[in-house]
Structure 1
């Protein structure tokens, strides 16, 4: 049910809601209008339940909190502050901006992965064609003669024959591994392994850290802007990330702040937060404008992330094409090398 509700649906809902509330329309009237405008029937049913709760006297934050997948803790915390200050419209507007920026960071990451995956799929299709059609054709030709095959040619033919003879077993093994990964993907141990591996991979680690910093700072900015305490903001912002290594780092920061240490001093000793991050935080602490500084940090790391993404993408694309080209070239050369001996064999 909830899976059919997209990020676009949630952004449009909040965008329209903020406009309605800014126009001094009551919460119940705003929800009634939104129910008429929402196209997704599942989302529409949820908002009807929210409206029903609100008309019965429940707070908006309490009603939304029943659906944490749609309205996460960061949203509920902001709505609560909006209810206390009587400024829900601004809170919803700020959250909409947060959602759009956050979605842009995620979309850029997915966009960068799209082309390399496409190249890999096409290359796999080409290599599959060679293994199951091209190489066997040459193999039949070579086996009908007594021509001595070069080592590379024989190796590729043997490899092709092995794949062909054990194809069912290879598919079963691949299927079993895929099934194990799929079943383990939600386990904390598996996520820790993947997160640790990604953070140790050259180039990729820098990209992930920039993305984590930008999204974390964005969360902190909107929370502190709503006058949520630093500790509470850190706890909520921690849960906006799916990276378990990052969550542990934030947990360490929280424990040290409880002991009386400053935020900037904590981040300066972290393996994920760099010196620029810590220095900007220090400036924010001195001026008592952490919310604005976190906003600037988010913009800074967002731009750094985009730049790093462009650099890595520009490197990966030619490298992938080169590697695939070399593999295809080796196979073709290996198949055509014995042709010179075949010419002599047939006396051409």
Structure 2
């Protein structure tokens, strides 16, 4: 669908903006139906320089949460879905979300339901959002559904921020450590090479190692850069294939310290999503399929798929979970109680609350442990290089002193 920029007049005065349509004639007709007499219209051309390029969802989670909260408030205030979408398209700070909402607005004006309109923008609106909106439309409680969606994504955002904050410190300190080591090897160590050459004799092993590393870094720095880029591309390719992604996700969950935290985060996301879908009356088999796609961990996703197949065959939902190491007894027991009492959504909500709290506690513990450890590692790296330079210098000073 093409986009057109227009300026025109209405009975109230001048008006300008953008509109989406399959052709210029259709755009003119839409504006005419809205009572706008077009004075000027031009198509907005999209090129590689102007087109939004993104990986994954291009809308930041906090922008999406704000959109949901505002949408719910407008509906509760009696504003129609079309008018609310139009208002939010102007107010949002996210360009991809604004573009999608403008298209959704046009779909709504043509009489299409919100769920179908948003389904045409699956990069922006997840399957969970679309199915919960569809359930809200059927039940006539759209504002409550939007509130539940906002709460769900807020909790998801908070959990993700906790993980990012826990991982950010070692990553930043690691980058600083690498930068310091490279600077010392490339800029500082070479200034002492001639001095050690004039000194003669056999250099200590640690000094020889540092000098060789410095020579290698100066000569083959481009090879190190290529290896780092190749590693990033390799990991990216692994994650694109479901089979290799499974082994990568398995390895991540088994990493000491960090693996447990990431496992709890994935389980919190899974149970929170299921709870939100069940509360919105989304059918359980459909809800399991959605969770399989949004859980972002192939190890957990495969167990969810087996649980769905088990349920479809009339067997227990929790049997595949009990047989897998990634699912603690707490989850299977709470789900079993929920199945028996008919309060599965509430039980899953409690499990999600527990694991979200566990993630928060884990990130706090990891940050308190990692901080002194990274300082020690950085000090050891710098200390090794400094020691390798100082040891032969002390020997030079001793020889000079003895000759005098």
TM (norm. structure 1) is 0.93
Larger Rg: 2
CA RMSD of aligned residues (A): 2.0
What is aligned with 1:157? 211
Partner deviation per Cα, 1:11-63 (whole Å, 9 max, x = no partner): 11111111111223222232233234234454333222212212222111111
* 1:304 positional shift: 0.6
* 1:299 positional shift: 0.5
Q: CA 1:162/1:55 → structure 2, altered by over 3 Å: closer, same or farther?
A: closer
8 Å CA contact 1:156, 1:331 repeated in 2: yes
* Structure 1 stretches lacking a partner, 5+ long: none
Which of 245, 269, 294 is the matching residue for 2:299? Answer: 245
Query: Larger deviation: 179-188 or 29-38?
Result: 179-188
Mapped partners of 1:332, 1:80: distance in 2: 65
Which of 348, 353, 378 is the matching residue for 1:299? Answer: 353
Partner deviation per Cα, 1:113-147 (whole Å, 9 max, x = no partner): 21111111211121112111222222221111124
Which of 68, 72, 76 is the matching residue for 2:126? Answer: 72
Mapped partners of 2:269, 2:231: distance in 1: 32
Which of 156, 168, 177 is the matching residue for 1:102? Answer: 156
What is aligned with 2:166? 112
8 Å CA contact 2:62, 2:157 repeated in 1: no
Greater RCO, CA 8 A, separation 6+: 1
What is aligned with 2:60? 6
For these two proteins, the number of residue pairs brought into alignment is: 348
Relative to total residues, which structure has the larger helix share, 1 or 2? 1
Which of 271, 282, 287 is the matching residue for 1:217? Answer: 271
Q: CA 1:134/1:2 → structure 2, altered by over 3 Å: closer, same or farther?
A: closer
8 Å CA contact 1:22, 1:90 repeated in 2: no
Query: Larger deviation: 125-134 or 25-34?
Result: 25-34
What is aligned with 2:105? 51
Please show how residues 104-183 of structure 1 align to structure 2 within 5 Å.
Answer: 104-182=158-236
8 Å CA contact 2:97, 2:124 repeated in 1: no
Mapped partners of 1:203, 1:27: distance in 2: 47
8 Å CA contact 2:318, 2:332 repeated in 1: yes
Relative to total residues, which structure has the larger strand share, 1 or 2? 2
Q: CA 1:301/1:42 → structure 2, altered by over 3 Å: closer, same or farther?
A: closer
